[in-house]
Structure 1
Amino acid sequence: MASATDTANPDPAGPDSAGRPFRKRTAGRRRFPGLPGSRLGRLILILNLLGLMILVSGALVLNELRRGLVNARIDSLTTQGELIASILNQAATVGEPTPQMDAALATELLQTLSNPRAQRARLFDSEGRLVADSEWMADEVERRVLPPARARDDQPMDFRLLPPARAPTRDQIQQALQGEVSTALQGRAWAGMRQGDRGRRVVSVSIPIRHVRAVLGVVTLEASDVDAIIARERAALVPFILIAVAVTLASSLLISRLVAQPVLRMARAADRVRQARARAISLPDLARRDDEVGDLTRSLEAMTQALSERMDAIEAFAADVAHEIRNPLTSLRSAVETLDLVTDPAARERLLNVLKNDVQRLDRLVTDISNASRLDAELSRDQPRAVDLRRLIADIAGIYQATAKPGDVTVEFAPHKGSETVTVMGREGPLGQIVRNLIDNARSFSPKGGMVTVGLVRVRGEAIVTVADRGPGVPPENLETIFERFYTSRPKGAAFGGNSGLGLSIARQIAAAHGGTLRAENQLGADNRVIGAIFTLILPVAGA
């Protein structure tokens, strides 16, 4: 009862439910070429990944920078340590045949060669004892910021209540340094990071002082600017983090504005339709959007508009049914009221015939109305299948031929040559109902003993079924009216109540549901005189 609506590809010339023309979407246009998915999905993916990529790329760059700086510091300290160890070996080695290191001379040389402001240098003898330290020789005073002064009446802080420090203890720091020196005394240079005396991480190298094969001592150089390097790296990472957070917030707000808020508006509009019992939903500003939200809005508007049209069709159908049933009921009531007052047997017989005809008409109306009301459900329930149209029509025509009585209108099936196999996609039951309704209509307008001819031909991917009779034809002004519900124009002599006016309407509705058309024409003779009517059903052939 309602026409099918294509909401996926609306006609660009046709208006939507609010009277605006639809904008046809271009299937091949993609805002971000090369990425799969929908436009809105690609936008969400790119925006969410952008902030993460910025943060990750910044972290990777700074990690590489940190690693490179530490390695460069180790290389620099190793070069300096090897140079100092070589000089001490050449200038501060005394004694033959057992070489020893002159501690005083080595201390003077270490003071000359080291740079206390850049790194800390230590000298250990062959027993691992500390001989010299650049901090002893540097003329510097260590400065520390004092804590703020407290009032006299303030209670002294109980240090016993403080939590234990997480930094390594002095003994642990000394053990790490001794392990490093022990490794160097075995003749192997050591380079890496460890904790310094003040709890700071330092880059340290220990180079053995070798004289031939003997190890006379160890030179240890350490740089304590690692924490400063890391602090600068963290400060450099802050802008990347801020940018990533800003991009993430902006993308989240954009997604919320583009997706979450429109969906919420559509939900509220649907609630208003439900609560106010409205017929359609309308969101003009969202329907103009050229993305998936716009498609969803237009689909919802088209869906509610189709439902509204179906409700109007149901209301009109109910009104037509009430009008058509009221006529035979009025006739029945009048006949029943008059029957008791009539004493003439002939008159009573005529009234009884009227009652019988009205009952038959009501029965025919109820049957056709039931078929029409179930039609939409049947068409939506069954799945289309390949139907051999030639076999279907031959079976229907065979039933009419087998049940025909003397004097009845005969039905002849005359398919065109070359139409041995004509297959269409559809539902066999409704398609057979079209053919039966057309044949019944043609028989009702055919003279007694006449013939109804059913034809079938395939032309350029279309199956054409014709049903022709030899009746009075159809008035030209009624060639379309006859397909309206409850329209009937009975020929003289036709049985009263034999037509409900729903057969042709149901046939056209089924044809439209299968993508076909149904029309009526008049057959003209040699002298342009109407010699009958012909109904033409056109259906698309499967696979064409």
Structure 2
Amino acid sequence: MAPDTDFPKIEDETLKLRWSARVSLTSRILAVNIFALAMLAGGFFYLDSYRSRLIDSRLHAAVREAGFMAEALSTATPAARPALALRLADRSGARLRVYGADGALQLDSWRLAPPNYILRDPDEEAWQRHVARFMDRAIDFVVGADQPPPFHEPARDTADAWPLLREARQQQRIAAGLSRAPDSTPMITAASPLAAGGGLVVTANERAITRTVRAERFRLGVVLALIILVSVLLSLFLARTIVRPLRRLARAAVRVRLGRAREVVVPRLPSRRDEIGLLARAVSDMSQALRQRIDATEAFAADVTHELKNPLASLRSAADTLASVRDPDAQTQLLAIVQDDIRRLDRLITDIAEAARADAQLSRAKFEPIDLGQHLEKLIRNWEARQPDSGVRVAFARPRIGVAVVMGEPSRLVRVFENLLDNAVSFSPPGGVVRVLATQVDGDVVVRVEDEGPGVPAAQRDEIFRRFHSLRPEGEGFGRHSGLGLAIARTIVEAHDGTISAEDRTDGMAGASFVIRLPAVGAPQP
């Protein structure tokens, strides 16, 4: 079935792009892949929740430890408390402060032994630590993490200087809180009331939490960086395999549009079996067809010029001579020549216009199912009514209804058979018979137009379908045919995915047989 060649003038809505219409294909490929990786980067949110769970776990542990320490110190004698406090501080890694009922500091583990943690000054650390803290702050900002208050040692170390201890003594329960050391590491503070009325304050620098989170973040960052690198490389490879050939095809199409079709070599990409390869070969075939059409147009223009010059030259010569001739017989002869040249010019111009319109009109035509049997019967009936005294009889074997159905444009196919019928009648002798047969063979509708003329020599069976090539019977009037009828017929038939050829008659008798083959409706298409 022939395709519908009536192309829409409005862009297909399904092919339109909205917001991404101005974004290059390479950028879109990269954006899609990077977006998928951005989803993986959400692992940093998981690390923030992981850190929160670590801190919550350490706060609960600090509450339990402070409770055990307070109970142990409450039951110990005043003389044994310093040694007990040192052991507890050594095992927990924390600093212990014991305050009396009056709020005065009675015991400090750092005064009994060297400090078991150090609050580092950020200004004195190496640049790597500054980079690490900057990354911590950046990620905390991205994930929206809450910042704990800074940790400050009290200027006057008393029980009232610790809000947590005041809260614990008032509510008679253990209280714990989180603060931030100068180097942004977590500080855990726990306070517990003592049985004698005093209080216990335990502070610990949980640098291990920061180190754990940074280590996990580093591993996740390395994995993410590797995945981003691989994804970008694969995206660039994909963009290269898609965008690069598309750009070459686009440049070639632009050069063809600018009228440089002969200079352009459109890459066919024979090694590619994907859609890009199909597109490349389609564009290459299209450019070759365009070149052939340009060549045909140039040749047609040259042939038209040549064919028009002959009758014009004859007409000019007759007109110039007619002005100086006084002999009536000579004038009559010259007027006959003028009339013949005018008829030839009229025939040429009509057929040239028909040939020029054939391709353009067929490219916009919508094909429909037509029964060639009915159209041929009507055509022959009209022809016999117009030419009752032609001396030639037309015999038509009417096929069954539905046998000779093809997809096509009715008026154009009728024009083909008109040309063939006129051609067959002109070559038939007086009293001859022109036979028209239509049938279906192997999925094709085959139409034969046979005459009883001299036939077509084998060497000229291809030449007769060329424009302005004329092989006319002897004695035919000058200028009656332009040599375009068979060329127009071939153009129309090939536009319907069919073929036309000149052959010998199938019955072995003298004469020519013009055979047209068109795909039948319902037959498998190549």
- Taking the aligned partners of 2:198 and 2:63, their CA distance within structure 1 comes to 14
- Corresponding residue of 2:369: 386
Gaps of at least 5 residues in structure 1 are 5-40, 95-101, 149-165
- Taking the aligned partners of 1:429 and 1:125, their CA distance within structure 2 comes to 117
- Corresponding residue of 1:465: 447
- Taking the aligned partners of 1:139 and 1:486, their CA distance within structure 2 comes to 115
SS of structure 1 residue aligned to 2:90 = coil
- Corresponding residue of 2:357: 374
Taking the TM superposition and a 5 Å limit, the aligned residue runs for 1:500-519 are: 500-519=482-501
Q: Deviations over 1:344-395 (max 9, x none)?
A: 5444433332322221111111111111111111011122222333333233
Tell me, yes or no, if structure 1 residue 521 matches structure 2 residue 503. Answer: yes
Tell me, yes or no, if structure 1 residue 483 matches structure 2 residue 465. Answer: yes
- Comparing both chains, which one has the higher relative contact order based on Cα–Cα distances under 8 Å and sequence gaps of 6 or more? 2
Tell me, yes or no, if structure 1 residue 178 matches structure 2 residue 157. Answer: no
> Quick one: which amino acid aligns to residue 200 of structure 1?
S
* Structure 1 residue 57: Cα displacement: 4.4
- Corresponding residue of 1:541: 520
Taking only the aligned residue pairs, the percentage that are identical comes to: 35
- Corresponding residue of 1:31: none
Taking the TM superposition and a 5 Å limit, the aligned residue runs for 1:28-43 are: none
TM-score normalised by L of structure 2: 0.72
Over the aligned positions, Cα root-mean-square deviation in angstroms equals 4.7
Tell me, yes or no, if structure 1 residue 196 matches structure 2 residue 180. Answer: yes
* Structure 1 residue 68: Cα displacement: 4.6
**Which moved further from structure 2: 138-147 or 341-350?**
138-147
Residues 437 and 53 of structure 1: CA distance in aligned 2, closer, same or farther (over 3 Å): same
- Taking the aligned partners of 1:173 and 1:510, their CA distance within structure 2 comes to 103
* Structure 1 residue 499: Cα displacement: 1.4
Contact in 2 for aligned 1:48/1:251 (Cα 8 Å): no
- Taking the aligned partners of 2:269 and 2:68, their CA distance within structure 1 comes to 81
Residues 189 and 59 of structure 1: CA distance in aligned 2, closer, same or farther (over 3 Å): farther
- Taking the aligned partners of 1:237 and 1:411, their CA distance within structure 2 comes to 90
Q: Deviations over 1:22-69 (max 9, x none)?
A: xxxxxxxxxxxxxxxxxxx99x95x77666666754762x66566556
- Taking the aligned partners of 1:140 and 1:75, their CA distance within structure 2 comes to 24
Contact in 2 for aligned 1:185/1:215 (Cα 8 Å): no
- Taking the aligned partners of 2:191 and 2:169, their CA distance within structure 1 comes to 6
Tell me, yes or no, if structure 1 residue 243 matches structure 2 residue 226. Answer: yes
Q: Aligned pairs, how many?
A: 472
- Taking the aligned partners of 1:463 and 1:370, their CA distance within structure 2 comes to 29
- Taking the aligned partners of 1:177 and 1:422, their CA distance within structure 2 comes to 106
> Quick one: which amino acid aligns to residue 444 of structure 2?
E
Gaps of at least 5 residues in structure 2 are 4-24, 125-146
TM-score normalised by L of structure 1: 0.70
- Corresponding residue of 1:441: 423
Q: Deviations over 1:409-439 (max 9, x none)?
A: 45454322x3445432222222222121111
Q: Deviations over 1:440-480 (max 9, x none)?
A: 21222223454433322223322122222333322333322
Tell me, yes or no, if structure 1 residue 404 matches structure 2 residue 387. Answer: yes
- Taking the aligned partners of 2:515 and 2:173, their CA distance within structure 1 comes to 104
SS of structure 2 residue aligned to 1:115 = helix
- Taking the aligned partners of 2:164 and 2:174, their CA distance within structure 1 comes to 12
For 1:456, which of 417, 435, 438 is the aligned residue? Answer: 438
- Taking the aligned partners of 2:176 and 2:164, their CA distance within structure 1 comes to 12
For 2:115, which of 133, 137, 140 is the aligned residue? Answer: 140
SS of structure 1 residue aligned to 2:341 = helix
Residues 336 and 360 of structure 1: CA distance in aligned 2, closer, same or farther (over 3 Å): same
Residues 196 and 490 of structure 1: CA distance in aligned 2, closer, same or farther (over 3 Å): closer
Residues 387 and 272 of structure 1: CA distance in aligned 2, closer, same or farther (over 3 Å): closer
